[in-house]
Amino acid sequence: MGPGLRKLVLAVHLTVSIGWIGAVAAYIALDIVAASGQDAEALRTAYLAMERIARSVIVPLALASLVTGIAISLGSRWGLFRHYWVVISLLLTIFATAVLLREVQVIASYADIAADRSASVDDLRALPSTLLHSVGGTVLLLVILVLNIYKPRGLTRHGRRREAGE
């Protein structure tokens, strides 16, 4: 990958990755309303907005972050399997995306309940909170961010063989 294309892919990767964190922050604000709200309309609106943000913003950003992260690692000197921090970052991103895709199903079911006008405030308040997942996901994304900034030293076995010219 040439330097111009590499910089473009890196810019896209940074944009979607940071966007993912920002979208999760917006989701958490709604999640707090859903976990602590007393008003049926506020709860209804929060659940419907959470589903929309998760499905239309967070999932596409997560998938784009995963794809562009793989592309930038393959097109740079870091490689995909040469350094532990890249492998760990990749595995954490795959894990976060997999949990997100599973959690979107839960969020969608909550939104379906919230969309039903016959659901009472007690029905909406009885829904289990997704706050633990959203806060945990944010912590995971911040760990990935720190790994990618500090790039701790350490070559994988594959990386050591490549360095030795094997």
pLDDT tens digits for 38-97? 999 999 999 999 999 999 999 999 999 999 999 999 998 889 999 999 999 999 999 999
Q: Residue 36's pLDDT band (boundaries 50, 70, 90)?
A: very high
Identify whether the C-beta of residue 136 lies closer than 8 Å to the C-beta of residue 29.
Answer: no
What are residue 83's DSSP bridge partners?
A: 155
pLDDT band at 22 (very low <50, low <70, confident <90, very high): very high
Confidence (pLDDT) at 166: 66
pTM value?
Answer: 0.92
Is 1:76 a contact under the CB 8 Å cutoff? yes
